Amino acid sequence: MTGSIETDNNPRALTGVHIILSDGGTDAAREQRAAAVLDTGLFQAASRFQIIEGNPKPPAWLEVFETGLQDPLSAYTRARDALPPQPAADDLRQRSSRSFALVAAHQAGPSP
């Protein structure tokens, strides 16, 4: 995966993502949590997707937080540490949580 993101006319490289698979909770609770994480300044974007099929029973939600930090693997932990402790909201249960660094898979060359 490679990509870039532009915020306030300031292009920044996308260097990593943090992916969360979770169950339970309302969309409003997920939106509030994502907004709080984005407010830490460690992530530029958050996306969430409902998972509707899979076998065995898949998690209900996939959430992706995008960062341009040079050390993307610790960005989510630092964002969570920067937030005040929050009680579990609306039965939100995290099943898996992982960070990934993005690396270019190929170099662009001249086209024929």
Write down the pLDDT at residue 41. 94
Whether residue 73 is contained in a domain is answered as yes
Chunked into runs of 10 residues, the chain (112 residues) has average pLDDT values of 50 77 87 91 91 88 90 91 75 87 62 58
Range of the domain at 50: 14-101
Give the span between the Cα atoms of 26 and 48, in whole angstroms: 12
Write down the pLDDT at residue 11. 57
- Which residue, 82, 84, 75, 90, is CA-closest to 17? 75
Write down the pLDDT at residue 28. 85
Write down the pLDDT at residue 79. 93
For residue 50, the domain's CATH number is 3.30.70.100
Write down the pLDDT at residue 30. 87
Whether residue 61 is contained in a domain is answered as yes
Write down the pLDDT at residue 107. 52
Number of domains within the chain:
1
Strands in the chain per DSSP E: 4-7, 10-13, 16-23, 45-50, 61-67, 93-101
Whether residue 109 is contained in a domain is answered as no
Write down the pLDDT at residue 14. 66
C-alpha dist (Å) from residue 36 to 16, 30, 57? 19, 10, 29
Whether residue 72 is contained in a domain is answered as yes
Whether residue 8 is contained in a domain is answered as no
Whether residue 3 is contained in a domain is answered as no
